[in-house]
Structures are given as C-alpha cells and as structure tokens.
Chain A
Amino acid sequence: MTAPLVAEHLSKWYGQVIGLNDVSVTVPPGVTGLLGPNGAGKSTLLKLMTGQLKPSQGRVLVLGEPIWGNPALYLRLGFCPEQDAFYDRMTGLEWLTALVGMHGLERDAAEASARRALGAVDLLEVADKKIGAYSKGMRQRVKLAQALAHDPDLLILDEPLAGMDPIARRRTIRWIRDWGRQGKSVIVSSHILHEIEAMTSNICLMHNGRILAEGDVHHIRDLIDEHPHKVRVRAEQPRALARELLAEADVLSLTFESGGIVVETAEPDAFYGRLTALAASGTHGAIDEIDSPDDNLQAVFAYLVK
C-alpha cells in the first residue's frame, strides 16, 4: 500500500529563516500524531504537505504525487487549518455547501454532503446559524466538517482540539480514532502529548524544524510524566472548580487568571479524566475550554536535544 505521505529531504526557508530543515519522513496509513512545541515547524510541514507552500529543497509526495501545483489531489485530501478564520456572515451549511461545491458536486449533492459532514460533528442543529454566532468549539468542529465533507482518503488536521471544551475534545478524539479505523489516513498536529496519545501511538516528534523521532515512542511519555504539566481551564465557576481540584494529591499548584485557573499537575492522565467527568456532570458549572501552555513540552524537548 502506498504511504499516504512521504517527505524526502524537505527544507523550507523564509528568507534567512529556516522553517524546516532537511526533513525526511514516511507517514504510514492510520492516525499519525505530529507533536512539537510552537515554532517546531509543524505548521510549515503541514503547509508543505497540503501544497500551500512550495518546498525550497526536497520533495513531498501526497498519496504518491507531488502536491504543489496539483489541485486534482485535493479531491482526496481534506485539511483542517489551525487558524480560527471563517466567512462569519455565512451559515455553517452555506459555507460547507459552497466549499464542497468546489469539488465539482452539483448544488443538491453538495448540500447533502455538507449536511452529512455537519451531522458527523454534531452541528446539524446549528447548520442554519451564521458561523459568526458559533462558540469556539463549534467553530473548531465546523472546520473539521469542511475537511471531511468530501470524504477524502487523507485528512490533515492542524491543532484540531485547540479551544474545545472537555466534552467536545473527548468526542473529537473519538471521531479521529474512528476515521483511522475506517481506513482513512489522518495526520494530526498538536503540542499536547496527551491529546495525541489518546488518538494514536504513532507519533512524529518535531523540534526546531527537524524530526527528532518517529514511531511508537513510549519513552517520551515517561519523560513527560517526570515533568509537572500545566493546564489552563476556562470555566463558569473557577473558584468552585479550584476548591474541587485542590483536594486532589496530584495538583501541585493552582493560580487564578481572568475567567479561569491554571493548574499544575503531576499526573496529567488522571487530571484530564477528572476534568472531563466534572464537565459532563456540570457540578461546578460549565467548563468552556481547556488548553495546555507550551512550556510542558519545552523542558522535555530541551532534554531530548541535549
């Protein structure tokens, strides 16, 4: 079976700045996580993989073909970008129908595909609302929907969980796993190992424009666990949530910030599990968004590149 994505000695320079440095990687079928801190070169690699940028050196083959200047490949490729950018005045259904229409589908067929995709990310109820009125989580999901609406063979998702609430995050992780099981190839970038680990054990580690390691990297997990992990939580009742969380032994510190709290935990898995349960029960009000600052991984990568 052809590897869905192959990069050979791939480099990209932005003037004097190196964005990607001699990267060679073969991404196997199934779900693959692209893990690295901000500035590691993940987005540059994904833009090269999706034909938005032209390689300065080397080449990238997507589904066996070069992607730059080859628009026909987008029939088989779906891309969910990182940026929170939309045509806010359009409804979710209008937007998806228009984008799917660009794949050559007639209006009715395009709308049917758009509805299917919105249903797959649980947005059918708000399909006729303007995207500008969507919550952050909804916007992330409608972005996912546009990537999969034309039923591509390869999905490339850039930070798809950023800004989602715990429940949406859990659902999205489940969808990504399911897409992998259905035979699609999925490449997901993130700077949070626990997110990636929840989807796949196949990881590419990136740092400073290079691939540090690839494959089933259990020892990375061990390294992560040795370092305290910070989680930023935006919630309806941050003080009540703080009282609940401080009762647990793995919480090392907790600070308040506008509209939320930043928690430092020694056991991230256990912490994420408790947070998801709290969000589902609604005991301390809604938990709107969780995020992890980069500095968790920075210490690990600093260690790895020594």
Chain B
Amino acid sequence: MIRNNRLFLTVSGGVLLLGLCAGVVAYYGGRSTIETPQDRASDLEYLPAETTIVAYADLRAVMNSRLRERFRQVEPDSAVREEFEVQTGINLEADIDHVVAGFVPNALEDDDESAVVLLRGRFDDEHLEALARQHGAEIEDLDGRSLLQIEEDGRPFALAFVEPGLAMLGDLGLVRMALESGAQSVTANEDLMRLVQEMEPEFNAWAVGRLDSLTERAELPPQVAAQLPALRHFAAGGRVNGGLSGVIRADASDEAAAQNLRDVLGGLMALARMQAGSRPVWQVALDSIQLGGTGTRVALSFVIPDELFEMLVPSEPPPGE
C-alpha cells in the first residue's frame, strides 16, 4: 500500500478504534455501576402471579437527583417526614434503596384494586414490630415470617419482613397470597418479564403492565383511547437526574394497529407543537419527544431538560439577592 494511504488509514482507523474501545469500556464500566434488569427482577418473585402492573423506583437515585432537590422546596412540611423517622427509625432518603410495587385488579372479592409494595433497605424489624403493636396491630406467624396486620378505614393492611432488608406491605389478602408457600409469582408471566428485561439499565424508575389495567384508571384523549383495545402491553421508564428522560413503549396486537397508533400520536404531537408555538418552554419539551418503534411496537421517547423544571419550579435565589 502507498505510504500516504497507509498513514491515513492508520490514523483514521486508530481514532475510530480508540473511540470504540473507549465507548466499550464506558459502556461496560457504566453498566457495572447500574442495577441491571436481572437485579431488579430478583425482588419480583414476591409479587403474586396475578399482578398486571409492576413498577420500580430506585429511591436513592431519585432522592439524590438534582430534580428532587428542585422539588424539595415545594414538598409538604418536612415535620411529617421527621415524625415518621422518629416513629419508625427509617430515613426515607437514606434507608430505602429501591421500591417495587405490584398492582392486582380484582384480587379480592370485595375489592376492585389491590397493591403490594416491596421496600429494599435497612430496617429495624423489632422496633417496627413493637411500633405496630402499639398501634393495635396483630401479629401472625406465616411460614416462619411475622405478618403484622392493621386495619385502616375498615380495610385490612399487612406488613411483613420477607427476608433481611426486604419489607412487604399492602392489602392483607394480597400479602398473604404472595407469601403463601408454593404460590406462583409474577416472574412466571413471560410478557411482563420480557418488558422488564428490556428496560434500559440506566433507567431509575419504570413501570410495565397489561394495558387494560392502565386504561381502566387513565383518562386519555379519545383518539388515543380508540386505539387502545388493539394494544396489549405498555412499558414506561425514565432516568431522573437534572431533568427527566425516558421512553414509553406499547406492544400492539398487529403491525397495522401499531402503525395506526403511530399515525395518531404523530398527528397529536404535530398539533401540540402548533399549539405550543408561542410558548418556548413547551416547544422545547415537545421537540424532545420522538415517536418511533417498528413492527408491532410503538415508542415515544422524551427528554425534559432541567431548564424546563427551572421555569416551572424556579430555584430559590441565593441568599443575599
């Protein structure tokens, strides 16, 4: 090969290779510090098989984010939080690592909606048990685990310590169902687990579920609602840092239904942009929304920059101004 050509290919290829190597190192290095979907899935085995919506939040990451700092000033009086810490010994910002929630529709005969929440963190079990007793809780032994039962507004709730560092609370019947030996868990639901595995590792909050469970609760624009019967599952996830970025995905029953929904969403986004023309704040937020997905999948990704929150919730001016 001619010398100059070799020089060009070597230098240029070197830059490319170096960049790729750096990217690979950053990718795998970055992944190792992020909780993987498999890590998250380990707690899901305590959710009942009937769960239709699963949600997850890396509470520590969210609590430590700049976004949360911004919202701290508009939070209710911190006295409530402090009282909670005094009573339970739990600092919500430091002692809870992550939260997993499962929603089960029609789980109980007289109930239309039940939920169970798993808290992973550091708790003083004995202190919490004593506290529950003080508030009239009954304690039941369920396969060697303590089940604290309490009634609130006539509805029975339960708190259980299912393993060291993992607490479960929710409707009594549901908690009991989840802890019964031999019960199947939501990890047997392949569709939901696939959606969990597909969540980007850097997302620190997400939810996946069957769409009918969501639509029963949500109030959606009629054009979108009309498309929903053809949709089966949804997945929404995001990364909370300075701002908020994330993706919402939906799986349709066929490609035509997915394309219809893409068209409708595209039209809605275009109209929204026209409406937001004179409001730069919303214009930027809308510009960040990207509609995509192929085949039976529809995806909507978005980035809401820190500056948008700055305009919505202005920071407190530094002292002295």
Contact = CB atoms under 8 A, between A and B. Distances in A.
Contacts of B4: 89
Interface in B22-72: none
Contacts of B3: 94
B218 interface: no
B2 interface: yes
Contacts of A94: 2-3
A97 to B, nearest CB: 9
A94 B4 CA distance: 11
Nearest to B3: A94
A300 interface: no
A98 interface: yes
Interface in B253-301: none
Interface residues of B, number: 3
Interface in A83-106: 89-90, 94, 98
Contacts of A98: 2
Interface of B is mostly: helix
Interface residues of A, number: 4
B4 to A, nearest CB: 8
A102 to B, nearest CB: 14
Contacts of B2: 90, 94, 98
Nearest to A97: B2
Interface string B1-23: 01110000000000000000000
Contacts of A89: 4
B102 to A, nearest CB: 68
A89 B5 CA distance: 12
B5 to A, nearest CB: 10
Nearest to A107: B1
Contacts of A90: 2
Nearest to A98: B2
B241 to A, nearest CB: 51
A94 B2 CA distance: 7
A98 B4 CA distance: 14
A13 to B, nearest CB: 40
B122 to A, nearest CB: 69
A192 B3 CA distance: 41
Interface in A70-94: 89-90, 94
Nearest to B1: A107
A172 to B, nearest CB: 28
Nearest to A87: B2
Interface string B142-160: 0000000000000000000
B312 to A, nearest CB: 60
A284 to B, nearest CB: 42
A89 B2 CA distance: 11
B2 to A, nearest CB: 5
Nearest to B4: A89
A88 to B, nearest CB: 13
Interface string A220-262: 0000000000000000000000000000000000000000000
Nearest to A95: B2
B6 to A, nearest CB: 12
A90 B2 CA distance: 9
B220 to A, nearest CB: 65
A303 B197 CA distance: 94
Interface in A10-49: none
B255 to A, nearest CB: 49
A99 to B, nearest CB: 12
A89 B8 CA distance: 15
A65 B292 CA distance: 61
Interface string A131-170: 0000000000000000000000000000000000000000
B9 to A, nearest CB: 16
A132 to B, nearest CB: 14
A89 B4 CA distance: 10
A5 B89 CA distance: 104
A90 to B, nearest CB: 7
Interface string B243-256: 00000000000000
Interface of A: 89-90, 94, 98
Give the 5 A-B residue pairs with the shortest CB-CB distance, closest first: A94-B2, A90-B2, A98-B2, A94-B3, A89-B4
5 contacts: A89-B4, A90-B2, A94-B2, A94-B3, A98-B2
